[in-house]
Structure 1
Amino acid sequence: MHPEQGSPFDVVIIGAGFAGLYGVHQAAKAGLNVLGLEAGEDVGGTWFWNRYPGARCDVESVDYSYSFDEELQQSWTWTERFAAQPEILDYINHVADRFDLKRHYRFGQRVVGASFDDAAAIWTVRTERGDEFRSQFVIFATGCLSAPIKPNIPGIESFAGEELFTAQWPEQGVSFEGKRVGVIGTGSSGIQVSPIIAREAEALTVFQRSANFSVPVPNRPWTEQEQADIRATYRQRREKSYYAGAATPHASLETKALDLAPAEREAAMEDRWNGGGVLFNKVFPDQNSDITANQVVREFAVAKIRAKVDDQAVADDLIPYDHPIGTKRICTDSGYYEMFNRPNVSLVNLRREAIEEVTPTGIRTAEQFIELDTLVYATGFDAMTGALLRIDLHGADDARLGDLWADGPVTYLGFGIPGFPNMFSINSVGTPSVMANMVLHSEQQLDWVLALVQHCRDKGIRTAAAREEAAVKWTDHLLEVAEGTLFVKANSWYMGANVEGKKRVFMPYIGGFGNYRRYCDEERDNGYPNFELSV
């Protein structure tokens, strides 16, 4: 046991991504005795682990950054409109060094369990190394896309070649020159990494279970004038984002799709397509709630895909037919569809030609055997709840989180879980999470949680726990809002549909970041009436 493990900390924060680092900074600034725990060997969170070639954010870099320090905003220069993983990781390290945050962390400490002592009102957090840390409050900033999935395919352990995961990419990089490569998965990471592999490999086979819509990312360097303009108007840009639907300054048009003339609709979609990435998911205010409006947007995207792919039979396989556009997260790419025009690239549609087994030398499908030197698993995550449920969490009266969430997760505002006093989850189920700019979202959530922590300390309150009736009401509201959209019609990871046996329920709050923030403001300003505060 380390020396610091004896006396309880005020706060233990788990995770060293955008959320965790901000929480540690704010807690230390408030004079709290804070400890950060991180499974990786350094800061970065998602951007530490996901080092695969082509990894890039789909939110503009000037928005996907901290807003809490004006000098930081004015001094950091983003080189590209949509920053790639190396630059984002450099930025996170810059912030950690600028505010001396790493001294608060213990790295290489993967948390495997935590339990609450009812009598002492203290959490004990256990790590894979066997260390234990005690704290009055615990904040899980463990990420909503941080629990990778390895597919359950017969023979998968027998493969004798090189095996890679996009979510745990080697820091030293990988060469594909002269190799026969298979990529399993066509979500965001598969769509981003495949074109880069294709340019280097002897042969690339993409194994697709579910086709996804992807929009090209029109990336380019910021001009000096643009950078000057951004710095001059940063405060206004942030103020526009703080209560916006997605925590960015971009919003949908005010006019519904079918209320526009055909030429106006076409021009609006062309503008958003050229604007890049997820902006295309909010051209019209009704495209995610009205199937007719959605179909207009879908037909535009389908025509774009067909224009990029020479072989229309391949295009047929690349076009999703099983969900309204946008109800699975729209991906962003750099030449993904055009990649299939290369002679060294082939597509295997697993819905027509399933994988039967992985062998030491390749993959056997129902129709062929494909020899491979390298297998890349771009198979996604147990999203939203996976990171928490992989930890053995025991709350008051030894209640186990896995048991309480067996029929689906229940939270109040996403922060509080009934029966788990002094424990808070950030960017998790019940929050806008992946539906909003995660950096501003992280700041908002950590400010809220740490305000509650400080309130408890100022008032001599030992425990704060979300009331069960409030959590049930919030979860019902979350599902009611989702039912008013087309999102519930897709078997997406938003619904947990990519994990065998997982309860199908829409997990993020889709009512908009601004509305969510107003609920949080009301709870705080009214003295936390939906939390049981015990002295």
Structure 2
Amino acid sequence: MNAPVHPSHLSDPNSPDGVTRLDAVVIGAGVAGLYQLHRLREMGLAVRAYDAASGVGGTWYWNRYPGARFDSQAEVYQYWISEELYKAWKPSERFPAQAETEQWLNFVADRLDLKKDIQFNTRIASAHFNEDTERWAITTEQGERIDAQYLVACCGMLSAPLTERFPGQASFKGRIVHTGLWPKEGIDLKGKRVAVVGTGATGIQVIQTIASEVGAMKVFTRTPQYVVPMKNPKYSQADWDHWSRQYEYLKQRVQGTFAGFHYDFESGPWIEKTPEERIAVLEKFWDDGSLSMWLATFPEMFFDEGVSHEVSEFVRAKMRVRLNNDPDLCMKLIPSDYGFGTHRVPLENKYLEVYLQDNVEAIDCRAAPIECVVPEGIRTADGKVHEVDVIILAVGFDAGSGALMRIDIRGRDGQSLKAQWTEEIRTAMGLQVHGFPNLFTTGAPLAPSAALCNMTTCLQQQVDWITGCIAYARAHGKHVVEATKEFQDEWVAHHDETAAPTLVVKTDSWYMGSNVEGKPRRLLSYIGGVGNYRSRCDDLAANGYPGFAMH
């Protein structure tokens, strides 16, 4: 596979005044950032990616906690750059773990010769739009100054960890670690008294993985989760040859489904089925051991309270059996106040059975919330101090908007993106924000990629659209691209109208920003479907990007 031509011969980014001059800056070297760097280099632009990590991977660099693995099948968690690249890397199993995924992203970066244009160990501190030059003045935390025409933020949807979650954390005598900042060298948990705070998708992976090695584990659970058992067979070369032969089909298939996977809602309307037929569909997808139980059974579960209740009760019954119908554990660990699928649905491996072990205790934080961290451990509102050696914070992220808000981004008239999004989160299809010319975003709010998508599908689609938009502007002699206020307003209204009838917006979750105090309430992810979103983007491109002013 031939690497693209390195653009260094087109312009020298280093100038005598100490300012690095580039055509484009990409923030992030994860799934989106790597692909965006590749696409802009293909265009011949002088471009550099910057990442705070010491290597590529983004999410798969930072989230190296015990049990970390993705829950999109390996055959579709893929780059669609070429069939050759697809075939050249054989995953070891259906849902590979973090280490293998990080290796795969390094493999891709090496194949495309991307690393020479990535500056690691560098965090972007600020980016201010200069209205005189119509370019971005960017600074790093080390003080490097960069001047770029285009700024493409590929910061990730879940890359702003909520680290300072409880009062008194600094007083703890043991070790506190956030799952999203797990140290490369790992942490020895053997025989230790460990607290895990949080039972979302990440917390579940940690809990089921470390239960066999810790001395004792206290799990602080506030919002129980519906869970689906993962089926994760090993992949042989023959298996991968099977998927490789379907490369073109898979590449096209994932573009049009609801969530960017190769499965979709194709079971027929709920109302037209008998109770027995409905159960048969649910059993079929339950046995598949993937997110298809959530994203390929009945879409009515997102809208209809009655359907939601029946699907939720189906899952609850499965969970009760695994908890030996223990009333206390069922009360603490099985949701009763929201419907299946209105939260992120975690896949797991014998997670519930962990609570049947003598060395594991579930602490109900609805009955006695965490009050603070003390030197000995965690104090709850009932006055009890839970003494532990290690506290693992699986408390999530400021999703979608958090990573961009941690950079001082200022657009026209010095307006602050952070200030704007603190009041209300608005974007133009998650691709641009009005008032911030030549700033493009992937994985930002109000696009499917903010949450409701197989990420490789949606991130590549956004990168391709951004690349096409920049190419169009350059071909027409335009230097500045900015979403109009009218277009952004129209998109926000459409986004909200699409979300309003769903049960998702009636449920508190990180999807709604509910996990961050004071965050404006709005569904972070567009819920109109990946295929519909792509069609709208394609129409914009085909018609000369109406809604995006260029000059």
TM range (shorter): over 0.9
CA contact (8 A) 1:5 1:134 kept: no
Determine helix, strand or coil for the equivalent of 1:406. helix
CA contact (8 A) 2:154 2:441 kept: yes
CA contact (8 A) 1:2 1:131 kept: no
Q: Following superposition of structure 1 onto structure 2, how do residues 346-425 of structure 1 map, counting pairs within 5 Å?
A: 346-367=361-382, 368-425=384-441
CA contact (8 A) 1:153 1:357 kept: yes
Q: Following superposition of structure 1 onto structure 2, how do residues 442-457 of structure 1 map, counting pairs within 5 Å?
A: 442-457=459-474
2:483 to 466, 477, 486: 466
CA contact (8 A) 1:257 1:287 kept: no
1:260 aligns with 2:277: no
> Equivalent residue for 2:24?
11
> Equivalent residue for 1:297?
311
CA contact (8 A) 1:245 1:513 kept: yes
> Equivalent residue for 2:113?
100
Give the aligned length: 534
For 2:57 and 2:504, locate their aligned partners in 1 and report how far apart those are by CA, in whole Å: 30
Q: Following superposition of structure 1 onto structure 2, how do residues 30-429 of structure 1 map, counting pairs within 5 Å?
A: 30-282=43-295, 283-310=297-324, 311-367=326-382, 368-429=384-445
CA contact (8 A) 1:12 1:135 kept: yes
Tell me how far 1:204 sits from its aligned partner.
Answer: 0.3
CA contact (8 A) 1:253 1:285 kept: no
2:33 to 13, 20, 27: 20
> Equivalent residue for 2:10?
none
Higher mean displacement: 340-349 or 284-293 = 284-293
Question: Which blocks of at least 5 consecutive residues in structure 1 are unaligned?
Answer: none
> Equivalent residue for 2:522?
505
CA contact (8 A) 2:211 2:360 kept: yes
> Equivalent residue for 1:479?
496
For 2:508 and 2:481, locate their aligned partners in 1 and report how far apart those are by CA, in whole Å: 36
For 2:50 and 2:319, locate their aligned partners in 1 and report how far apart those are by CA, in whole Å: 44
Report Cα offsets for 1:26-78 as digits up to 9, x if no partner: 11111111110101111000000000111111110110010111100111111
Report Cα offsets for 1:332-388 as digits up to 9, x if no partner: 111111100000000001010122321111112234221100000001000010111
Instruction: Check 1:34–1:160 CA distance in 2 against 1; reply closer, same or farther (3 A cut).
Output: same
CA contact (8 A) 2:260 2:454 kept: yes
Tell me how far 1:259 sits from its aligned partner.
Answer: 2.5
2:546 to 526, 529, 532: 529
> Equivalent residue for 2:11?
none
Tell me how far 1:502 sits from its aligned partner.
Answer: 0.7
Q: Which residue identity is paired with 1:464?
A: V
User: Over aligned residues, Cα RMSD in angstroms?
Assistant: 1.4
> Equivalent residue for 2:5?
none
For 2:236 and 2:108, locate their aligned partners in 1 and report how far apart those are by CA, in whole Å: 24
Tell me how far 1:285 sits from its aligned partner.
Answer: 2.8
Higher mean displacement: 152-161 or 290-299 = 152-161
Question: Which blocks of at least 5 consecutive residues in structure 2 are unaligned?
Answer: 1-13
Instruction: Check 1:202–1:424 CA distance in 2 against 1; reply closer, same or farther (3 A cut).
Output: same
Tell me how far 1:409 sits from its aligned partner.
Answer: 1.4
For 2:462 and 2:448, locate their aligned partners in 1 and report how far apart those are by CA, in whole Å: 11
Determine helix, strand or coil for the equivalent of 2:545. coil
Tell me how far 1:229 sits from its aligned partner.
Answer: 1.6
Q: Which residue identity is paired with 2:166?
A: I
CA contact (8 A) 1:214 1:277 kept: no
For 1:4 and 1:216, locate their aligned partners in 2 and report how far apart those are by CA, in whole Å: 58
Higher mean displacement: 357-366 or 486-495 = 357-366
Tell me how far 1:82 sits from its aligned partner.
Answer: 0.8
Q: Which residue identity is paired with 1:318?
A: L
Q: TM-score, normalised by structure 2?
A: 0.95
Higher mean displacement: 256-265 or 92-101 = 256-265
Tell me how far 1:473 sits from its aligned partner.
Answer: 0.6
Q: TM-score, normalised by structure 1?
A: 0.97
Tell me how far 1:521 sits from its aligned partner.
Answer: 0.6
Tell me how far 1:273 sits from its aligned partner.
Answer: 1.3
CA contact (8 A) 1:495 1:504 kept: yes
Tell me how far 1:151 sits from its aligned partner.
Answer: 4.7
2:537 to 511, 520, 523: 520
Tell me how far 1:153 sits from its aligned partner.
Answer: 2.1
For 1:303 and 1:376, locate their aligned partners in 2 and report how far apart those are by CA, in whole Å: 30
For 1:502 and 1:322, locate their aligned partners in 2 and report how far apart those are by CA, in whole Å: 22
For 1:287 and 1:389, locate their aligned partners in 2 and report how far apart those are by CA, in whole Å: 33
For 1:223 and 1:260, locate their aligned partners in 2 and report how far apart those are by CA, in whole Å: 38
Tell me how far 1:464 sits from its aligned partner.
Answer: 0.7
For 2:506 and 2:340, locate their aligned partners in 1 and report how far apart those are by CA, in whole Å: 11
2:511 to 470, 489, 494: 494
CA contact (8 A) 1:255 1:285 kept: no
For 1:67 and 1:388, locate their aligned partners in 2 and report how far apart those are by CA, in whole Å: 27
For 1:242 and 1:503, locate their aligned partners in 2 and report how far apart those are by CA, in whole Å: 30
Tell me how far 1:2 sits from its aligned partner.
Answer: 8.3
For 1:356 and 1:101, locate their aligned partners in 2 and report how far apart those are by CA, in whole Å: 47
Report Cα offsets for 1:285-305 as digits up to 9, x if no partner: 311111111111100110111
- Report sequence identity in percent: 38
For 1:284 and 1:318, locate their aligned partners in 2 and report how far apart those are by CA, in whole Å: 24
Tell me how far 1:7 sits from its aligned partner.
Answer: 5.1
Q: Which residue identity is paired with 2:454?
A: N
Q: Which residue identity is paired with 2:381?
A: A
CA contact (8 A) 1:113 1:127 kept: yes
CA contact (8 A) 1:16 1:45 kept: yes
For 2:195 and 2:15, locate their aligned partners in 1 and report how far apart those are by CA, in whole Å: 45
Instruction: Check 1:409–1:181 CA distance in 2 against 1; reply closer, same or farther (3 A cut).
Output: same
For 2:327 and 2:233, locate their aligned partners in 1 and report how far apart those are by CA, in whole Å: 30
Determine helix, strand or coil for the equivalent of 1:92. helix
Tell me how far 1:14 sits from its aligned partner.
Answer: 0.3
For 1:22 and 1:528, locate their aligned partners in 2 and report how far apart those are by CA, in whole Å: 22
Q: Which residue identity is paired with 2:242?
A: D
Q: Which residue identity is paired with 1:350?
A: C
For 1:342 and 1:486, locate their aligned partners in 2 and report how far apart those are by CA, in whole Å: 35
Tell me how far 1:147 sits from its aligned partner.
Answer: 0.3
Q: Which residue identity is paired with 2:403?
A: A
Tell me how far 1:119 sits from its aligned partner.
Answer: 0.8
Tell me how far 1:224 sits from its aligned partner.
Answer: 4.0
CA contact (8 A) 2:179 2:392 kept: yes
Report Cα offsets for 1:375-406 as digits up to 9, x if no partner: 00001000010111111111012111123223
For 2:119 and 2:110, locate their aligned partners in 1 and report how far apart those are by CA, in whole Å: 15
Tell me how far 1:5 sits from its aligned partner.
Answer: 5.4
